[in-house]
C-alpha cells in the first residue's frame, strides 16, 4: 500500500540535507560536466533546472489560491549570476516559504488530488533528492536516497505522477505489479489498466480473480525510486514475472 513516510517537517528536514548535498556536488564539478543520468544535460543545465523550479514554486505556493500559475520562466540566472548562485537564491527563499507554510492552505498543484500547500514540501524534497543523485553521479559519486525518503518517493510516483498521466512513454499495459522495498519493509501493488493506474491497499479485496502480481520487483527503496525515474535499469533489481509491465511504471 502507499503510505506517507512523514509530514511537512520530515520533507523540510530532507530538503535541509539534500539541498546542501546537491550544492556541494555542483561546486565540485566543472559547469560543462555531462550529467550521465540526464542525457544531453550538463551540470550547469541541471542546476538551472532545479533553481528554476524553486523560483517558480516560490512564486505561487504561498499565495493561497488554486488557479494555475504562469508557466515556469526558463530564461536562466540572468547576467552576473552563476547557476549555483541562482540555485542558492531559490533554495533559500523556498526554504523560508515552506517552513512557514500551512499544509492545509489552498495551493495549486498539477496532480489529481486536493489543492493544498502540503503537496509542495513533499514534491520539492523528492525533486531535490533525485537531482542530488544526478549531480553526484556527474562527479562519480551518487549516494543512495535515504530509505524512508526513498520509500515515500516511490509512493509519490505511484499515487501522484502516474495517476496524473505523467509516464515516460505512452503504452497499453494490463496487470498487477508488486514493488517491494527490502530495506523499508514496504510493498506496493499497482494495477495497470491501459492508460489508467490504481494503487491498491494490500487489505483491499480485489474486484476480480486477477489479483496476483504478474510482475514483482524488489530492491532497496532508493533503487526502486531511481528505477521509476529512469535513472537506473529495472534489470539491476530483482525482477520476476512479466517484465514488459515495467514500462508502465516509469515516470518523468
Among 102, 42, 52, which residue's Cα sits nearest to residue 78?
52
pTM of the model as a whole: 0.93
Between these two residues, 105 and 170, which has the higher pLDDT value?
105
Among 142, 23, 25, which residue's Cα sits nearest to residue 84?
23
Mean pLDDT for the stretch of residues 11-18: 98
Strand-pair category, 173-181 with 215-219: parallel
- Backbone angles phi and psi of 196, in degrees to 5: -90, 155
Distances (CA, A) of 200 to 15, 25, 180, 187, 196: 29, 38, 14, 10, 13
Query: What pLDDT, on a 0 to 100 scale, did the predictor assign at position 202?
Result: 61
CATH number of 167-248: 3.30.1050.10
Mean pLDDT for the stretch of residues 32-58: 97
pLDDT band at 17 (very low <50, low <70, confident <90, very high): very high
Query: What pLDDT, on a 0 to 100 scale, did the predictor assign at position 75?
Result: 84
User: pLDDT over 90 for what percent of the chain?
Assistant: 83
Is pLDDT of 126 > 80? yes
Every domain of the chain and the residues it spans: 8-143, 167-248
121, HSE (Cβ side, Cα atoms, 13 Å): 28
CATH number of 8-143: 1.20.120
Query: What pLDDT, on a 0 to 100 scale, did the predictor assign at position 5?
Result: 58
Residues 180/161/247/149 CA torsion (nearest 10 deg): -30
Is pLDDT of 55 > 90? yes
pLDDT one-digit tens code per residue, 92-103: 999 999 999 999
Q: Residues 94, 87: contact at Cβ < 8 Å?
A: no
Mean pLDDT for the stretch of residues 206-212: 55
pLDDT one-digit tens code per residue, 61-84: 999 999 999 999 888 888 789 999
Distances (CA, A) of 62 to 105, 118, 156, 189, 219: 8, 11, 21, 34, 37
Is pLDDT of 119 > 70? yes
> What is the Cα–Cα distance from 77 to 179, expressed in whole angstroms?
40
Average of per-residue pLDDT values in the chain: 93
Q: Residues 157, 126: contact at Cβ < 8 Å?
A: no
Q: For the beta carbon of residue 129, count every other beta carbon within 10 angstroms.
A: 27
Q: What are the DSSP calls for 175-198, one per residue?
A: EEEEEEETTTTEEEEEEEEETEEE
Query: What pLDDT, on a 0 to 100 scale, did the predictor assign at position 1?
Result: 43
Edge to edge, the sheet with strand 186-194 lists 196-200, 186-194, 173-181, 215-219, 238-241
Is pLDDT of 15 > 70? yes
Amino acid at each position: 500500500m502507499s503510505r506517507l513516510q512523514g509530514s511537512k517537517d520530515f520533507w523540510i528536514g530532507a530538503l535541509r540535507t539534500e539541498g546542501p548535498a546537491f550544492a556541494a556536488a555542483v561546486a565540485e564539478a566543472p559547469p560543462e560536466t555531462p550529467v550521465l543520468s540526464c542525457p544531453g544535460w550538463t551540470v550547469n543545465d541541471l542546476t538551472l533546472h532545479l533553481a528554476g523550479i524553486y523560483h517558480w514554486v516560490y512564486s505561487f505556493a504561498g499565495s493561497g489560491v488554486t488557479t494555475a500559475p504562469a508557466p515556469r520562466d526558463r530564461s536562466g540566472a540572468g547576467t552576473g549570476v552563476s547557476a549555483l548562485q541562482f540555485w542558492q537564491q531559490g533554495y533559500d527563499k523556498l526554504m523560508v516559504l515552506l517552513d512557514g507554510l500551512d499544509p492545509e492552505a489552498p495551493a495549486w498543484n498539477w496532480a489529481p488530488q486536493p489543492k493544498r500547500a502540503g503537496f509542495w514540501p513533499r514534491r520539492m524534497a523528492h525533486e531535490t533528492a533525485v537531482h542530488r543523485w544526478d549531480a553526484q553521479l556527474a562527479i562519480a559519486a551518487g549516494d543512495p536516497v535515504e530509505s524512508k525518503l526513498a520509500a515515500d518517493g516511490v509512493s509519490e510516483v505511484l499515487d501522484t505522477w502516474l495517476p496524473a498521466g505523467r509516464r515516460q512513454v505512452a503504452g497499453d499495459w494490463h496487470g498487477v505489479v508488486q514493488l517491494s522495498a527490502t530495506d523499508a519493509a514496504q510493498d506496493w501493488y499497482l494495477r495497470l489498466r491501459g492508460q489508467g493506474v490504481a494503487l491498491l491497499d494490500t487489505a483491499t479485496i480485489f474486484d476480480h480473480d486477477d489479483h496476483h502480481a504478474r510482475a514483482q520487483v524488489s530492491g532497496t527503496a532508493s533503487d526502486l525510486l531511481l528505477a521509476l525515474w529512469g535513472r537506473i535499469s529495472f534489470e539491476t533489481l530483482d525482477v520476476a514475472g512479466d517484465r514488459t509491465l515495467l514500462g508502465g511504471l516509469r515516470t518523468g
